[in-house]
Amino acid sequence: MAEEPIKGEDEQLIDPIANRPGYEETESQIAILGHPIHAMSVSFPVALTFCVFGADLLYWWTGETFWARAGIWAAGTGFLFGMLAGFSGTAEILLVSGIRARAAAWTHFIIAVTLLALLGANWGHRLYGYETAVLPYGILLSGLCVIMVSFTGWHGGKLVFDYRLGTSKGN
């Protein structure tokens, strides 16, 4: 019996999304002298999210009020800097056609918005008594935020280093 030719061997597969106008336009528009504001601002919420968890662990261990106060400040500033990072990222996804066209950018948006909701909840919960808030719900929320910020940051890195989103093509 004659062997059947492998289907699609000579076929040109066409990705309709890749044919959209502006698909190749992926350079950051929300930038200062070509340096993307989103990439610059994400370090703050990432670091502060880890700080809240650290402060909660130290409060649990020592019982010192200082760590509960450090926790509420880190949670509040982490949330506010996270919102700033979120606004620059949202402007980027809406304004840059090549970023807007890629599903991976929208995946990052969904993970990041979930993170922002958790950061807000973690701060809001502490506003009604920052010391009593830590155990158990404060520290549980902080742990969840650490997991979510790790996903968000790792995925954001993929957008830049794998998909080359936000980067200039060079000369």
Q: Pick the binder of ligand HEM from 54, 60, 80, 90 (CB under 6 A).
A: 90
Q: Which stretch binds ligand HEM (CB under 6 A): 1-9, 54-62, 90-98, 133-141?
A: 90-98
Give CA–CA dist 106/92, Å, rounded: 11
Residues touching ligand HEM, count (CB under 6 A): 31
Nearest CB to ligand HEM, comparing residues 141 and 149:
149
Between 117 and 140, name the residue whose CB sits nearer to ligand HEM.
Answer: 117
| Residue 138 touches ligand HEM, criterion: CB under 6 A | no
Q: Establish how many alpha carbons lie within 13 A of residue 36's alpha carbon, considering only the half-sphere containing its beta carbon.
A: 25
CB of 84 to ligand HEM, least distance (A): 9
Give least dist CB 78 to ligand HEM, A: 9
Of 158, 47, 44, whose CA–CA distance to 111 is shortest? Answer: 158
Smallest distance, ligand HEM to C-beta of residue 19, A: 21
Q: Which stretch binds ligand HEM (CB under 6 A): 12-20, 50-58, 113-121, 132-140?
A: 113-121
Contacts to ligand HEM by CB under 6 A: 28, 36, 38-39, 42, 45-46, 82, 85-86, 89-90, 92-93, 99, 105, 108-109, 112-113, 115-116, 149, 152-153, 156-157, 159-160, 165-166
